Structure 1
Amino acid sequence: MPVNSTIIQRFLEGDQQALSHLYDQYSGAIYGVLLRMCRQEDIAQDVLQETFITIWEKRNSYNPEKGQFYTWAYRIGRNKMLNFLRNSPDLIQKEDLSVYDNKGASEEQPLDREALNGAIAKLEPHHKQALDLVYFSGMTHREAHQEMNVALGTFKSYIRQALKKLRENYQVVTALLMMMIDKML
């Protein structure tokens, strides 16, 4: 979904029509991610609006040389939804939390988030991005490979390689990811 660099430049200079164009082009994709995260249309729509308000307010922090506009906007939306969900625990249904259970360990041993983050941090950047897009952001393989601008087969190999490295480095992460994969299928 690359966008014309002229529109990005106008957006960075404060042109509201450029923002409107970006909204028209990207709001549908971002809304889809938000809806998958919360499963409630009204909440996804509210967070989408907040996302584009933040995009406008923080436009000076976007650097086109560091990444695509969609990636930057998507992360803002995803973070807004995660913050919303953290602050609204009543919206998270019990069955949705089952993907975070650690079935590979004893009931007394909670999932060590630091170890999980450490294992993921050891991955190559493209492997981390592939996992993030599919397993933590809710994108399909087709959406994610397009976002990364790589062939679908290459993208799938990134996922396989990342899971293999995680299996080697951290068995609990494998259990967590496998539960997430099973839930998605």
Structure 2
Amino acid sequence: MQSVDELRIYFVKSLTLMSDDKTLILKLQNRDETAFSLVYDKYSAALYGVIIRLCKDEHDAKNLLQDTFMTIWDKADGYDFDKGRFYTWAHRIARNKTLNFLRKSDKLIQVEDLSVYKNRTEEVTDKLDDLKLKGTIKRLDAHHQRAIELVYFNGLTHREAHEEMNVPLGTFKSYIKQALKQLQQSYIKITVFITILIEVMR
């Protein structure tokens, strides 16, 4: 039986061999347990940060993290490299699981990210999904469209999304605000929901 130190060395070597994220994820999609362990090592801290920031409870956060990785393992073959980074996909799983847990336990409260707004998040996201299907969002300026997609479709917080776009946080927030105003003018059915978001952002 291998010692803890031997296993640690093995995983370090494996990580070096699979430092390319695509290679690692492809192995995960082929149900490679070593790849899964490496994915856990690589992303668990960041995903735990996403979860604990929302639920504020260490016990719940640890359970939700394990649940997140079980879903990552079960649904890894559903990840599409052409649709974004693996972390973005995993982030959305962690975020959605946490929000669903908080809604069911009636613990959801407003936090710094306006996409987490009690009893409004799903309604706004559903309306934005409808807009996307209708092509309305595609008519936005490219930077406005990207900002909306990162927050409302990819599940990133404002802080994570502004880093993804490589623009200052204040600039990113102005993108979101301007985009929501344009959508408000384009689609009367979501006026109430978007107005709420704009007012809170002031």
- Normalising by the residue count of structure 2, what TM-score does the alignment of the two structures yield? 0.64
Identity %: 38
Q: 5+ residue gaps in structure 1?
A: 103-112
Q: Which residue of 2 aligns with 1:105?
A: none
CA distance in 1, matches of 2:162, 2:125: 27
Superposed CA deviations along residues 9-58 of structure 1, whole A, max 9, x for unmatched, are 21111112211221122222222221222222221221111000111111
1:12/1:166 Cα in 2 relative to 1: closer, same or farther (>3 Å)? same
Displaced runs of 4 or more, over 3 A: 99-102, 113-116, 118-122, 153-158
Hey, what's the Cα distance between the residues in 2 that align with 1:33 and 1:120? Answer: 27
2:86 matches 1:69: yes
SS of 2:83's equivalent in the other structure is: coil
Structure 1 residue aligned with 2:127: 117
Contact 1:37 1:138 (C-alpha < 8 Å) held by counterparts:
no
* Aligned position for 1:163: 180
Q: Secondary structure at the match of 1:28?
A: helix
Note the residue ranges of structure 2 that are not aligned, 5 or more in a row: 1-18, 112-116, 139-144
Deviation (angstroms), 1:178? 3.1
2:88 and 2:156 in contact (8 A); partners too: no
| CA shift for structure 1 position 100 | 4.8
SS across alignment from 2:82: coil
| Structure-to-structure mapping, 1:27-176, within 5 angstroms | 27-89=44-106, 91-92=107-108, 99-100=117-118, 113=123, 117-118=127-128, 121=132, 122-124=136-138, 125-132=145-152, 137=155, 139-141=157-159, 143-147=160-164, 150-153=165-168, 155-156=172-173, 158-169=175-186, 170-176=190-196
Q: Please give the secondary structure, in 2, of the residue aligned with 1:162.
A: helix
Does 1:23 pair with 2:40? yes
Structure showing greater radius of gyration is: 2
8 Å contact kept, 1:128–1:162: yes
- Counterpart among 11, 23, 30 of residue 6 in structure 1: 23
Alignment RMSD (CA, Å) = 3.3
Residue aligning to 1:106: none
Once residues 164 and 180 of structure 1 are traced to their aligned partners in structure 2, the CA distance between those partners, rounded to angstroms, is 13
Change (3 A) 1:35 1:64: same
Residue 181 (1) aligns with residue 195 (2):
no
Normalised TM-score (structure 1): 0.69
CA distance in 1, matches of 2:151, 2:34: 34
